[in-house]
Chain A
Amino acid sequence: MVTFPAPSHLTARERARRTARGGASRSVPAPLLVPALIAVGFLVLPLAGLLIRAPWSRLGAALSGSDATQALVLSLWTASASTAISLVIGVPLAWVLARSSFPGQRLLRALVTLPLVLPPVVGGVALLLAFGRTGFLGRYLDSWFGLTIPFTPIAVVMAETFVAMPFLIITVEGALRSADQGFEEAAATLGAKRMTVFRRVTVPLIAPSLGAGAVLCWARALGEFGATITFAGSFPGQTETMPIAVYYALETDPDAAIALSLVLLFVSVVVLVSLRDRWLRRGPVP
Chain B
Amino acid sequence: MRRSAVIAAGLAAVAVAGCSSSGSGSSSPSASSSAASPTGTITVFAASSLMGTFTQLGQQFDAAHPGDTVKFSFGPSSGLATQITSGAPADVFASASPKNMDAVVTAGDAASPQDFAKNTMEVAVPPKNPANVTSLTDLAKSSVKVALCQPQVPCGKVAAEVFKNAGLKVKPVTLQPDVKSVLSQVELGSVDAGVVYVTDVMAAGAKVKGVTIPASDNASTLYPIATISNSKHKSNAQAFVAYVLSPAGQQVLTAAGFEKP
Contact = CB atoms under 8 A, between A and B. Distances in A.
B174 interface: yes
Interface stretch (B185-193, B223-231, B236-244, B246-254): B185-193
B12 interface: no
A234 interface: yes
A251 B174 contact: no
Interface string B174-213: 1111000000010011110000000000000000000000
Contact of B174 (A134, A233, A246): A233
Contact of A128 (B76, B150, B175, B190): B190
B173 A225 contact: no
A235 B82 contact: no
Interface in A230-245: 233-236, 238-240, 243
Greatest chain A CB density within 10 A among B1, B81, B145, B172 is at: B1
Contact of B1 (A132, A229, A235, A261): A261
Given A133-B190, A243-B1, A233 B147 contact: yes
A140 interface: no
A234 B79 contact: no
Interface residues of B, number: 24
A148 B142 CA distance: 14
Interface string B146-185: 0100101000000000000000000011111100000001
A218 interface: no
A150 B191 CA distance: 9
A198 interface: no
Contacts of A132: 188-190
Given A248-B150, A251-B152, A234 B175 contact: yes
A151 interface: yes
Contacts of B1: 225, 243, 246-247, 261, 264
A241 to B, nearest CB: 12
Given A134-B190, A151-B174, A251 B147 contact: no
B78 A251 contact: yes
Contacts of A236: 175
Contacts of A226: 2-3
Nearest to A134: B189
Contacts of B76: 251
B150 A233 contact: no
Contacts of B150: 234, 248, 251
Contacts of B174: 150-151, 233-235, 239
A235 B190 contact: no
A234 B76 CA distance: 15
Nearest to B150: A248
B3 A225 contact: yes
Contacts of A243: 1-2
B79 to A, nearest CB: 5
Contact of A148 (B78, B145, B172): B145
Interface of B: 1-4, 76, 78-79, 81-82, 145, 147, 150, 152, 172-177, 185, 188-191
Given A133-B189, A233-B175, 16 more contacts: A128-B190, A134-B189, A150-B174, A151-B145, A151-B174, A225-B3, A226-B3, A233-B173, A233-B190, A235-B173, A235-B175, A239-B174, A247-B4, A248-B150, A252-B152, A264-B1
6 contacts: A150-B174, A151-B191, A229-B177, A235-B173, A236-B175, A238-B173
Q: Which 9 A-B pairs have the closest CB atoms?
A: A233-B174, A151-B173, A134-B189, A251-B78, A252-B152, A151-B174, A251-B82, A225-B2, A251-B79
